[in-house]
A and B are shown apart, each in its own frame.
Chain A
Amino acid sequence: MADSFYRPNGAQWALSSPALALFLGLLVVPLALTALLSFSAFHEIHGIQVGHTLGNYLDILSDGYYYELFLRTGAMALGTTAICVLLGVPEAIVLYRMRPMWQGVFFVVILGPLLISVVVRTLGWSILLGREGFINTALMSLGLVDRPLLLMFSMTGVLIALTHVMIPFMIIAVWTSLQKLDGQVEHAARSLGAGPLTTFRRVLLPQLLPGILSGSIIVFTLSASAFATPALIGGRKVKVVTTAIYDEFLTSLDWPLGAAVAVLLLLGILLVVIGSNRFMERKYRQVFA
Chain B
Amino acid sequence: MSRNIGRNGPLAWLFHGVFTAFIVAPLVVIVLVSFSDKGYISMPFEGASLRWYRAILEAPELVNAFWLSIGLGLGAATVATLVAVPAALAIARYRFIGRDGLTALILSPLMIPHVVLGVAFLRFFSLMGWTGSFVALLLVHALIVVPYSLRLTLAALAGMNLEAELAARSLGASRWTTFRRVLLPLIVPGVAGGWVLAFIQSFDEVTMTIFIATPGTTTLPVALYNRVSLMTDPVTTSVSTVMIVGTVVLMLILDRVVGLDRVLLGKK
A binds B: yes
Residues of A within 8 A of B (CB): 1-8, 11-13, 15-16, 18-20, 22-23, 26-27, 29-31, 33-34, 37, 87, 90-91, 93-98, 104, 106-128, 130, 134, 161, 164, 167-168, 172, 175-176, 181-184, 186-187, 204, 221, 224-228, 231-232, 241-242, 245-246, 249-250, 255, 258-259, 262-263, 265-266, 269-270, 273
CB–CB B3/A183 < 8 A: yes
29 A-B pairs whose Cβ atoms sit less than 8 Å apart in the complex = A1-B161, A5-B93, A8-B95, A11-B90, A15-B87, A18-B87, A19-B146, A22-B142, A33-B127, A34-B124, A90-B12, A91-B15, A96-B5, A106-B16, A112-B251, A117-B221, A117-B240, A117-B243, A118-B204, A118-B206, A123-B30, A124-B27, A124-B30, A221-B113, A227-B115, A228-B206, A250-B211, A262-B116, A269-B112
B66 interface residue, CB < 8 Å from A? Answer: no
The reply to whether A91 and B90 form a contact with Cβ atoms under 8 Å apart is no
**Interface contact A8-B96, CB-CB below 8 Å:** yes
The answer to the question of B171 belonging to the interface, with a C-beta cut-off of 8 Å to chain A, is no
Closest 4 CB pairs of A and B: A124-B26, A225-B113, A30-B124, A12-B94
User: Are B115 and A6 in contact (CB-based, < 8 A)?
Assistant: no
Decide if B86 touches A172 in the complex (CB within 8 Å): no
Given contacts A116-B243, A116-B247, are A34 and B225 in contact (CB under 8 A)?
Answer: no
Number of chain B interface residues as a range: 35 or more
B189 to chain A, nearest CB (A): 18
Given A8-B94, A27-B108, A270-B111, 18 other A-B contacts at CB below 8 A? A11-B94, A16-B102, A20-B105, A26-B124, A91-B16, A97-B7, A111-B264, A117-B224, A119-B224, A121-B26, A123-B237, A164-B26, A186-B5, A204-B5, A225-B114, A225-B207, A226-B207, A227-B206
- B8→A94 contact, CB < 8 A: yes
Contact between chains at B3 and A27 (CB < 8 Å): no
Q: Are A2 and B204 in contact (CB under 8 A)?
A: no
Residues from chain B with Cβ under 8 Å of A258 in the complex: 119
| Nearest CB of A to B160, in Å | 8
Q: Is the CB of A16 within 8 A of B90?
A: yes
Q: How far is the CB of A222 from chain B (nearest CB, A)?
A: 9
Q: Is B59 an interface residue (CB 8 A)?
A: no
Residues of A within 8 A of B27 (CB): 113, 116, 120-121, 124
Q: Which residues of B contact A204 (CB under 8 A)?
A: 5
Contacting residues, chain B, for A37 (C-beta < 8 A): 123
Known A-B contacts A111-B264, A183-B4; A266 and B162 likewise in contact (beta carbons under 8 Å) = no
Please determine whether B26 and A259 come into contact, CB atoms closer than 8 angstroms.
no
Please judge, given known A-B contacts A97-B12, A114-B264, whether A126 and B232 are in contact too, CB under 8 Å: yes
Q: Are A19 and B106 in contact (CB under 8 A)?
A: yes
CB distance from A80 to the nearest CB of B (A): 14
Q: Is A6 in contact with B93, judged by CB distance below 8 angstroms?
A: yes
* Minimum distance in angstroms from A168 CB to a CB of chain B: 8
**Pair B16/A94 contact, Cβ less than 8 Å:** yes
Q: Quick one: which of A108, A112, A164, A255 contacts B123, CB cutoff 8 A? A: A255
B237 touches A97 (CB 8 A): no
Say yes or no: is B58 at the interface (Cβ < 8 Å to chain A). Answer: no
Does any Cβ of A come within 8 Å of B120's Cβ?
yes
- Residues of chain B with a CB closer than 8 A to A93's CB: 12
| Contact call A3/B162, Cβ cutoff below 8 A | yes
Contacts of A273 in B (CB 8 A): 111
Residues of A within 8 A of B146 (CB): 19, 22-23
Given A106-B20, A124-B26, A126-B228, residue A242 in contact with residue B240 (CB < 8 A): no
A225 contacts across to B, CB distance below 8 A = 113-116, 207
Q: Known A6-B162, A22-B139, A228-B225; judge A266-B116 contact (CB<8 A).
A: yes
* Contact partner, B240, options A12, A31, A120, A255, Cβ 8 Å: A120
Instruction: Kindly list chain B residues whose C-beta atoms are within 8 Å of the C-beta of A13.
Output: 90, 96
Known: A109-B23, A124-B25, A175-B265. Contact between A119 and B119, CB under 8 A? no
